[in-house]
């Protein structure tokens, strides 16, 4: 069921629901727009209020606040506080804190915390470790950066040439935080041990993906299951128990490049995927074959951003799940509820 939609001021490429109370209704949506005349890449981050239960349809998706930025490739909320990390086209990593001035939605604003120039290349992806003490950043020149978060500043603790081409994704293992995964346009799926300096490569898989590796997702209920998404249109399921040589257990073709994947916050084995030219899919990745449960094709352009809302209602009843999705060239943000999660 569709709850609301909005056209953004630029090409839409990322959406992230804040997971922290009292801001779980807040959705961040980012844009990246190439301005050819100025030879620049500009962007915005807009904050929306999402209320699926509002009787007044106009109150289900409301714009709260917008900040102008460099073009945003990726953003992630901290796992410990309402702080958003932004990776941008100017090679900068910025942190912004969500605050509520007067106790109402109209008082919700972003406060700049700190920013750091990471590289002369573009920052393409950002991920937090689970203590929020470190961030990893994938760069357009093939490098990986690990950034330490201090009280009022960011410090580059390590940066190295990890891949031959653009690093589209990097991801801290959620149960073994000293392992960092990376995926890139060179078709490589790699893992790095951060306990050693310089970071030591644990494995590098060059054969399984036919095109660039775009994203990772780790099963929150089974830490040995890792998913990779690729431009080759496949979602692959990996058994990570033997870290030096992970096993590709199964895969499913989703009909479009798998750009983003997010596990459902409460329902085991359910994954939301952004499939570029083929819209969005909700996939069940359980003990049997991976299967598509539902597709959403109401966007007319590249499916890029996707996320689940984390609310008390969803914790009690998964069938009340709310999804935000965005698409690039048509600049469209949509908020909707899946239809096929009943009984899971």
Q: Tell me the per-residue pLDDT of 261-299, one tens digit each, with 9 for 90 and over.
A: 999 999 989 999 999 999 999 999 988 889 999 999 999
CA distance 244 to 327: 37
What is the number of residues in the chain?
344
The percentage of the chain sitting over the pLDDT mark of 90, rounded to a whole number, equals 87
Contact 254, 275 (CB under 8 A): yes
CA distance 203 to 224: 16
Query: pLDDT class for 251, splitting at 50, 70, 90?
Result: very high
Mean pLDDT of 62-85: 97
Tokens of 224: 């040995």
The 3-state DSSP class for residue 107 equals helix
All structural domains of the chain, each given as residue ranges with its CATH number in brackets, are 1-84 (no CATH), 85-336 (2.130.10.10)
Res 101 pLDDT > 90: no
Mean pLDDT of 19-42: 92
262 dihedral zone (left: phi>0; alpha: psi -120 to 50; beta):
beta
Contact 13, 71 (CB under 8 A): no
**Strand 189-193 relative to strand 108-117, pairing:** unpaired
Res 87 pLDDT > 90: yes
| Cα–Cα separations (whole angstroms), residue 157 to 75, 129, 139, 220 | 20, 14, 15, 28
Contact 81, 97 (CB under 8 A): yes
Instruction: For residue 315, report the phi and psi dihedrals to the nearest 5 degrees.
Output: -60, -35
Mean pLDDT of 109-136: 97
Whether omega before 198 lies within 30 degrees of 0, making that bond cis, reads: yes
CA distance 109 to 299: 29
pLDDT in tens, 185-205: 999 999 999 999 889 999 999
CA distance 163 to 155: 22
pTM of this prediction exceeds 0.85: yes
pLDDT for 120 equals 97
The 3-state DSSP class for residue 103 equals coil
The number of beta carbons lying within 10 Å of the beta carbon of residue 143 is: 19
Tokens of 178: 């000293």
């Amino acid at each position: 069921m569709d709850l609301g939609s909005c056209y953004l001021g630029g090409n839409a490429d990322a959406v992230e629901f804040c997971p922290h109370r009292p801001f779980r209704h807040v959705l961040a949506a980012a844009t990246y727009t190439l301005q050819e005349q100025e030879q620049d890449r500009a962007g915005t981050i807009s904050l929306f209020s999402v209320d699926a239960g509002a009787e007044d349809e106009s109150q289900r998706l409301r714009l709260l606040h917008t900040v102008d930025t460099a073009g945003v490739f990726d953003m992630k909320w901290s796992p410990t506080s309402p702080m958003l990390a932004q990776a941008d086209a100017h090679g900068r990593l910025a942190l912004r804190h969500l605050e509520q001035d007067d106790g109402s939605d109209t008082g919700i604003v972003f406060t700049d915390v700190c920013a750091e120039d990471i590289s002369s290349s573009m920052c393409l992806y950002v991920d937090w470790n689970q203590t929020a003490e470190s961030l990893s950043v994938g760069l357009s020149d093939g490098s990986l950066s690990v950034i330490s978060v201090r009280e009022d500043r960011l410090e580059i603790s390590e940066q190295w040439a990890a891949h031959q081409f653009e690093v589209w994704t990097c991801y801290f293992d959620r149960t073994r935080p000293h392992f960092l995964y990376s995926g890139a346009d060179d078709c490589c799926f790699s893992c790095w041990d951060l306990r050693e300096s310089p970071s030591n490569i644990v494995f590098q898989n060059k054969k399984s993906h036919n095109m660039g590796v775009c994203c990772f997702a780790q099963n929150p209920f089974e830490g040995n299951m890792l998913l990779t998404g690729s431009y080759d249109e496949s979602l692959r399921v990996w058994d990570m128990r033997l870290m030096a040589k992970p096993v590709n257990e199964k895969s499913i073709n989703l009909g479009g490049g798998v750009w983003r994947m997010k596990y459902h916050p409460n329902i085991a084995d359910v994954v939301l995927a952004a499939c570029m030219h083929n819209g969005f899919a909700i996939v069940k990745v359980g003990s049997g074959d991976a299967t598509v449960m539902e597709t959403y094709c109401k966007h007319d352009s590249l499916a890029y951003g996707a996320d689940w809302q984390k609310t008390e209602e969803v914790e009690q009843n998964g069938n009340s799940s709310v999804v935000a999705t965005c698409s690039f060239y048509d600049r469209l943000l949509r908020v909707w509820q899946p239809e096929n999660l009943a009984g899971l």
